[in-house]
């Protein structure tokens, strides 16, 4: 049954791609003929656009045929990625169109050359073009959504921009024809005569914007950037399966219309193999309910629900973040009795809209509150890579580093219970500026509170002496340990 549905889908995608190819061929010839007759840059740019559409439609047809091939030993995930490659190639062709149209349009605007011949033929061809594009966008979108074809979806997006660009060119050509038909004064006529060129530049802008969007989507799919929304929905569905104690990891990747899901779930350590297999099957069904037709692989690990509750809060934060596909750092956990106050930084794509990033982090925070009832979670969102921008040693000037080291020695000399400052290092953090760390020996018979108070005094002295310092980390060691390390 599944094989028959796959064959029907491949045949319907093939018919849609073939119809788009014939439409692109007809429009290219029609626009080229009328564009050369009227010398309209707007229509000629649309002819070039349609010519690239013709090439893109041929590429889509080939991609649909190849993607329909079943998986083999060299391509265990199938051939669906070829649809994404086809969509990416389309965007490169469209970028070339933009560059040519902008160059020619600027030349005409600055030089006032190549006036177009006023004609209703130009108006007619653009109206026909819009009608054909509206019909094929409707067909392509229907088939693309039904069979999750990214190649056809890219074609539909491509031709939907053609409708808008054709409308812009139609207005420009109509303005030129009206200027000639109404015998307008020369200054006003010259302004309206350039409407076609301005329309061509607007078309180039629309093409560039659509191409950039398609390129980003294609690259994300080729790089296996799974949807965080779908990932969160799968995690939520699998967690609701009775008997599953945790969802440790989830990975999503797409290959054409096929979605592959890798899951790691936790179950009670003492259950039988048969029961563990049943839970894995239930997890597959839950994931498939969110992503119909997906290929789900489940790995089962022993993890007691009791041990999950007793888990170290730092480990819990990192594991929960991993389940949601998030990277976190600077995790601080403050505990007052049975209540937790958790502060952390979450890394997200720097170009992602903040509203989307916030919506992505909220389920992660809710899962933390569910794992630690009553916990207060405070998250700081920052662009990816900000925390790794650490410049050690050379990033801090030598004079400043030497000054800080001298002040460390001076501060330590004022504390009779502290000795042997060593392992001094300086580095720079994007958010905290110049930071230092060092080790010291101290009387091991002192209490934690007493040692902490000494560290606070040392830090205050250093900040007064070197106001530029950001983070200060002081590692105290009992005298015996400090002496051993100094000897080493």
Task: Write the pLDDT tens digit of every residue in 1-34.
Answer: 344 444 445 566 666 666 766 776 776 777 777 7
User: For 264-290, what is each residue's pLDDT tens digit?
Assistant: 888 887 788 888 899 989 998 898 888
What pLDDT, in 10s, does the model give residues 371-384? 777 788 888 888 87
Provide mean pLDDT across the span 347-373. 81
**Percent of the chain residues topping a pLDDT of 70:** 64
Cβ–Cβ under 8 Å, residues 333 and 317: yes
Which pLDDT band holds residue 191 (cuts at 50, 70, 90)?
low
Buried b (16+ CB within 10 A) or exposed e, 2-23: eeeebeebbebbeebbebbbeb
Average of per-residue pLDDT across 325-351:
81
In order of their start, the domains of the chain are 1-223 (1.20.1510.10), 228-302 (3.30.70.1350), 313-485 (3.30.70.1350)
Nearest-CA neighbor of 375 among 304, 317, 326? 317
Region 69-96 average pLDDT = 72
pLDDT one-digit tens code per residue, 147-169: 666 566 666 766 666 666 667 66
Give the residue-averaged pLDDT of 227-238: 80
Residue 230 structure tokens: 């779908």
Question: What's the whole-model pTM score?
Answer: 0.46
Q: Would you say residue 295 has pLDDT above 60? A: yes
Strand 418-429 to 391-392 pairing: antiparallel
Give me the pLDDT at residue 5, please.
Answer: 45
Q: Which pairing describes strands 339-348 and 327-336: parallel, antiparallel, or unpaired?
A: antiparallel
- 418-429 sheet: strands from edge to edge: 391-392, 418-429, 433-442, 469-478
427 in Cβ contact with 391 (< 8 Å): yes
Q: How many CB atoms lie within 10 A of CB 430?
A: 13
**What residues contact 300, with CB distance under 8 A and at least 6 apart?**
264, 265, 266, 267, 276, 279, 280
Of the two residues 239 and 336, the one the predictor is more confident about is 239
Instruction: Write down the pLDDT at residue 458.
Output: 93
> Directed axis angle between helix 195-222 and helix 186-193, to 10°?
20
Structure tokens of 208? 């560039």
**pLDDT value of residue 6:** 47
């Amino acid at each position: 049954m599944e094989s028959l549905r796959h064959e029907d889908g491949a045949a319907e995608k093939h018919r849609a791609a073939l119809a788009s190819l014939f439409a692109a061929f007809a429009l290219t010839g029609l626009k080229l003929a009328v564009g050369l007759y009227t010398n309209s840059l707007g229509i000629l740019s649309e002819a070039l656009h349609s010519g690239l559409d013709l090439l893109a439609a041929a590429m889509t047809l080939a991609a649909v045929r190849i993607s329909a091939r079943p998986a083999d030993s060299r391509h265990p995930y199938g051939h669906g990625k070829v649809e994404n490659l086809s969509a990416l190639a389309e965007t490169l062709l469209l970028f070339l169109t933009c560059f040519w149209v902008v160059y020619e349009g600027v030349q005409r605007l600055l030089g006032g050359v190549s006036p177009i011949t006023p004609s209703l033929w130009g108006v007619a061809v653009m109206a026909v073009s819009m009608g054909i594009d509206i019909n094929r966008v409707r067909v392509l979108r229907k088939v693309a959504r039904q069979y999750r074809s990214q190649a056809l979806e890219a074609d539909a997006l491509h031709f939907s921009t053609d409708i808008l660009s054709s409308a812009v060119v139609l207005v420009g050509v109509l303005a030129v024809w009206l200027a000639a038909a109404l015998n307008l004064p020369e200054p006003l006529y010259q302004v309206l005569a350039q409407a076609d060129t301005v329309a061509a530049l607007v078309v180039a802008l629309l093409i560039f914007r659509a191409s950039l969007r398609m390129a980003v989507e294609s690259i994300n799919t080729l790089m296996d950037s799974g949807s965080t929304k779908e990932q969160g929905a799968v995690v939520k569905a699998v967690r609701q399966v009775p008997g599953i104690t945790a969802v440790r990891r989830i990975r999503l990747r797409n290959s054409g219309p096929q979605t592959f899901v890798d899951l790691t779930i936790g179950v009670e350590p003492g259950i039988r193999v048969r029961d563990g297999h049943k839970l894995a099957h239930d997890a597959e069904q839950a994931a498939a309910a969110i992503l119909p037709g997906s290929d789900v692989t489940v790995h089962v690990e022993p993890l007691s629900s009791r041990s999950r509750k007793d888990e170290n809060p730092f480990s819990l934060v990192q594991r929960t973040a991993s389940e949601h596909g998030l990277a976190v750092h600077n995790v601080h956990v403050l505990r007052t009795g049975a209540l937790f106050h958790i502060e952390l930084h979450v890394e997200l794509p720097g170009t992602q809209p903040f509203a989307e990033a916030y919506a992505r982090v909220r389920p992660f925070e809710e899962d933390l509150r569910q794992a630690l009832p009553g916990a207060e979670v405070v998250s700081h969102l920052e662009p990816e890579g900000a925390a790794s921008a650490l410049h050690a040693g050379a990033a801090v000037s030598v004079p400043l580093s030497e000054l800080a080291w001298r002040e460390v020695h001076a501060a330590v000399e004022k504390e009779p219970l502290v000795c042997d400052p060593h392992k001094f290092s300086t580095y720079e953090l994007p958010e905290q500026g110049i930071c230092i760390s060092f080790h010291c020996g101290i009387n091991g018979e002192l209490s934690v509170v007493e040692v902490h108070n000494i560290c606070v005094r040392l830090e205050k002295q250093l900040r007064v002496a070197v106001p530029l310092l950001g983070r200060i980390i002081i590692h105290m060691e009992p005298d015996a340990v400090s002496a051993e390390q100094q000897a080493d």
